[in-house]
Structures are given as C-alpha cells and as structure tokens.
Amino acid sequence: MSGAGLTITGRAAPHSHAGSSVDRIMLQVCLALVPATVFGLYLFGWPALLLWVITCASAVATEALCLLLQDKPLSRLRDSSALLTGWLLALTLPPWAPWWIGAGGAAFAIAVGKQLYGGVGQNIFNPAMLARVALLVSFPVHMTTWVQPDLLSSGAPGPWAALDIVFGGGIPDGVTGPTILGEMKTAQGAGTVSELAAGSFNWLDSLTGSTAGSLGETSELLVLLGGLWLLALRIISWHIPVAMLGTTVLLAAIFHRADPAHYASPLLHLTSGGIMLGAFFIATDYVTSPSSKTGQLIFGAGCAAVLFAIRAWGGFPEGVGFAVLFMNAFTPLLDRYCKPRAYGRNLRGRPTVARTPARKVR
C-alpha cells in the first residue's frame, strides 16, 4: 500500500479531556453564587445592587486595561476570572459601602493581586482577599459600618436614595448595627459570651440571613447550597471545606467547653461571618491552594486555626481574609512536601525496586 499523500500530524498530550475549561469553571462558580447574591441584594436593596455592579465592572475594566497595556488580546476577558474576582470581593464588602470602596478594591485586586504576578494562574495570593484586607486596613471605618437587613427588606431606599448613599456616602444612623461577630468580640472582653448566646444570638437568623453583615454573610444556607453544588459538579473537592469547617468546630468546641464565658460555641462560629463563603468559594481557589489532597487538608485546617485565633484573640471580629492569605503563603511549601506518590516511585521520587521472592534451596 502506498503512503503517498498521507499526512501525519503529531499532537502533544493530553489527547482527551473532561470537557471543562477555565471559562466553563469560572461561570459555574458564578452561577453557584447567584442564589446567595440575589437574596442579599433583596435584603439590602438598591445600594447593595449598585455597589455589586460597580465592583464587578471595575474588576473587568481593570483587567481590560491591563491586557491592553501588555498588548494581550481582549478575548482573554471571556474566561470570566475578573468577573469572579470582583463578584467575590463585592460579597465581602459592607452592602452600603461608598462606590470608591468597590471600584478601588476591585482595581487593586486585579492590578496588584493578579496582573502584577503575570495574570491568570500566576498569582500567589487570592486577589479578592488581598483587596479586602487592604481595604480593611486602610479604611477600617467604612469597612466596618453595617446595616440591619430586617429594616431594609420592608422599606429599602429607592433608586435615587441609593445613588445618594453609594455616591454621597451618607448612611442614616438609624439603620446601622453590629454583626454577630462584632457583638461576640465585645462580649469576649466582658466575659459575657454565654449571655450573648442565650440572648441576642439566633442561629436560625444567621443561617437565613436576618442579621447585619456583608452580602456573603446574608445567608449561610444559600452559600452552603452553592458550595455543595460545586462539590456535586466536582469543580472543587471536599478536602479544604471539610478540613476548614471541621477544624473550626473542633477548636470552638474545645475552648467553649473550657470557658463558655469567653469563647463562643461551634454553632455560632459556623453560622456567622464569612466562613461558608471562605470554605467553599475562596480557600478552594485552584491557583492559590495546594494541588495534593494531603496538602489541601493541611491548608484547610490551617485556615481554620488562623481564623479561630483571630476571632478569639485578634483585633478584628472576622478573619477569613487574613487566614486565607496566611495559608496562601504556605501553598508552595505544601505542594513541595505533600506531593502524591507517582506510580513506580517512592515518596522521595526515586524509582522503586521490585523485590524478587527468595527461592527455597532443596
């Protein structure tokens, strides 16, 4: 048989894939955030919607500007990574924060937290958390001014009043209030945490969103359902969420058992703050978390330990952002020393030697 006219094209591995891509994964994560986001926007009204739009738009615009400055095609915007970064940042902000908090934070997240390292897949720290921590340290008053959703769901400000709140920076004092973690921090100093748990704290309100907080804290239940959906799609694995939530429960149970007047119960820790958002959507970031299963378990447990330490003894009521950034710094180390064993090699990467059974001498 003649081989004339036969063309052989060589292709590099892999020769098959699961059908997933960066674009598809990012969009699925965004879809998982939709229920909690929509519910939060309903509770906090037009100001929250404006802030969310501004934050996401600023992230995408900054990404486009960085691509143009680097002579890279704008088609890279289709991977939706900038949108997801802005979305996650918006969920961690006070819902009535001024516009420049969202716009400046998103620009910082993309330009400094992502593009400065080389773009998608190159950053060391989670961009959204890097921006949130920078905003919290730089503008602590604006980042710790919360509004009560129970007042707003029945009489939220209209679009024109929302423009004045977001762009004018004026929030009526009558609708502001502390978060549960803020009350817990005050109660820790007074030794009245047990009274807080028996009084103003209602775990059902925290679970369903009837408490002050950011958009990502409005309904731990909806955030949890979104995270479980990502687990079902195998977008994320169970190792980091289970390790983070489980270690938090363990530490809280130990200290609460020893001194309930100064340490909150595991239920309060699980249903308050951004722990669910952090465990399922932030700490599981592919780029800034370990690749091995063992490394992911250590990473999640480390996030929980730092988070609990900040909540129990730190100066801030919440510490999800600090915890994730702290463990991001250990990701290269965990990837190095928690490598999965390759077939035919030992844990040190050296080829294994097959042992031949000894023959019996007759």
Residue 130 has pLDDT above 70, yes or no: yes
Half-sphere exposure of 153 (CA within 13 A, CB side): 13
70 pLDDT exceeds 80?
yes
* Cβ–Cβ under 8 Å, residues 33 and 224: no
Q: What is the dihedral of CA 41, 325, 303, 21, to 10 degrees?
A: 70
Task: Compute the distance between CA of residue 325 and CA of residue 255 in angstroms, rounded to an integer.
Answer: 25
Predicted pLDDT of residue 282? 96
With beta carbons less than 8 A apart as the criterion, state whether 272 and 181 touch: yes
Mean pLDDT of 220-232: 94
Rounded Cα distance between 35 and 15, Å, is 37
| CA pair distance 177, 180, nearest whole angstrom | 10
Residue 276 is predicted with a pLDDT of 94
- Nearest CA to 110 among 149, 71, 158, 77? 77
Residue 19 has what pLDDT? Answer: 58
Higher pLDDT, 328 or 271: 328
Directed axis angle between helix 22-69 and helix 220-232, to 10°? Answer: 100
Nearest to 107 by CA among 93, 127, 92: 127
Which pLDDT score, from 0 to 100, does residue 154 have? 53
pLDDT of 197: 65
Which residue from 281, 288, 271, 282 is spatially nearest to 334, judged by alpha carbons?
288
Mean pLDDT score, 127-142 = 95
Residue 360 in this model has a pLDDT that exceeds 60: no
Distance CA 154, CA 188 (A): 33
Counted residue by residue, the chain has a size of 362
Q: Which residues contact 256 (CB under 8 A, 6 or more apart)?
A: 263, 264, 265, 266
What is the reported pLDDT for 193?
Answer: 78
Q: How much is the CA Rg of the chain, to the nearest whole Å?
A: 24
Q: What is the largest CA-CA distance in the chain?
A: 99
Handedness of CA 317, 321, 325, 327 (dihedral sign): positive
Q: How far apart are CA 333 and CA 291, in angstroms?
A: 11
Give 169's pLDDT tier (boundaries 50, 70, 90). Answer: low
List beta partners, residue 147: 176
Average model confidence (pLDDT) across the chain: 85
State the Cα–Cα distance between residues 127 and 131, nearest whole angstrom.
6
pLDDT at 355 over 70: no
Q: Domain-by-domain residue ranges, the chain? A: 23-177, 178-211+236-337
Distance (Å, rounded) from C-alpha 324 to C-alpha 302? 9
Q: What is the pLDDT of residue 194?
A: 74
pLDDT digits (tens, 9 = 90+) for 22-45: 888 999 999 999 999 998 888 888
pLDDT at 173: 60
**Averaged pLDDT, 92-106:** 93
What is residue 9's predicted lDDT score, i.e. its pLDDT?
62
pLDDT above 60 for 337: yes
**Token representation of residue 96:** 């009535």
pLDDT, tens digit, for every residue of 101-116? 999 999 999 999 999 9
pTM to 2 decimals?
Answer: 0.86
At residue 160, the pLDDT reads 77
Q: Which carries the bigger pLDDT value, residue 18 or residue 59?
A: 59
Give the integer Cα–Cα distance in Å for 12 and 301: 38
Across residues 302-313, what is the average pLDDT?
95
**pLDDT at residue 325 greater than cutoff 90:** yes
> For residue 345, what are the β-bridge partners?
351
With b meaning 16 or more CB within 10 Å and e meaning fewer, what string describes 213-241? bbbbbbbbbbbbebbebbbeeebbeebbb
More confident call, 159 vs 248? 248
The predicted model gives 318-339 an average pLDDT of 93
Cis, peptide link before residue 14, omega less than 30° from 0: yes
